[in-house]
Every structure is written in C-alpha cells, then in structure tokens.
Amino acid sequence: MMRFFRSLFRSGGDIGARLDELAIYRSTNALALHPNPASLYVTLQLDAMPCKGVVVVRDALGRVALGQTWPGGTIVTMDIRTLPAGPYTLEVLDKDRRMATARLFVE
C-alpha cells in the first residue's frame, strides 16, 4: 500500500489511473463481516480464497482469542459466543501469507 502512495506522489502520471490501481488492490482481498457488531455468530465473506486457510481472531492487545480453519470457498461462519465484548481484528491467512483483515466488534 505504501508503495502505491509513494509512486503516486513521485510520478507525474495520471492520478485517476493510480486511483483505479488502488481500487483494484483493495477489491482483490475484500473481507466482509455480517453482522458487525455481532454477539453469537459472524459470517465472513472473502472475494477470493484460492485454497484452505485459517481465520485468526486477535484481541485489542494482539493476542490470539480464537481460531478456525477456512475450508476453502468464499463464505465461513464463526461461533464467537466465547469472546468477551470488545474490538477484535480478524485475519484470514492461507499457507503463504495474510489474505485479508477486518475489524469485528463483539457485543
């Protein structure tokens, strides 16, 4: 992401084209959470998950609070009843890298 912004300001190129590149970058790893805030279950939808992976839920201090396998496909539902109320970060990881992140608020 930082490379994108550096190149935007260094290049004298078309800013509109650069913004289109940013939209493409963001849309390739879009993670949607429903409902958010949530209290019992949350459904995660990822635009593209090419293989199996893992969902890691981290608390505000970065500690792992919950984890679940992502069996492949684009939609997974997580049981979050064991999580105390508060803000969390969800990370979707495949075997090589982090695919997407999102903020979750538990009530």
Residue 59 belongs to a domain: yes
Q: Is residue 3 part of a domain?
A: no
Comparing 95 with 57, which gets the higher pLDDT? 57
Here the CATH number for the domain that contains residue 56 is 2.60.40.3080
Domain presence at residue 15: no
pLDDT for position 21: 43
Instruction: Give per-residue pLDDT as tens, 13-65.
Output: 444 444 444 443 344 568 899 999 999 999 999 887 667 889 999 999 999 99
* Per-residue tokens: 63: 């500690």
What local confidence, expressed as pLDDT, does residue 43 receive? 95
C-alpha–C-alpha distance, residues 22 and 16, integer Å? 10
Q: Show the domain range for 76.
A: 29-106
Regarding pTM above 0.75, the answer is no
The total domain count for the chain is 1
Q: Is the dihedral of CA 9, 14, 16, 22 positive or negative?
A: negative
Q: Is 44 helix (H, G, I), strand (E, B) or coil?
A: strand
Please report the pLDDT score of residue 107 as a whole number: 95
Mean pLDDT over each residue of the chain, to the nearest integer:
78
Q: What are the distances in angstroms from CA 40 to CA 16, 34, 35, 79, 106?
A: 42, 11, 10, 6, 9
Domain membership of residue 19 (yes or no) is: no
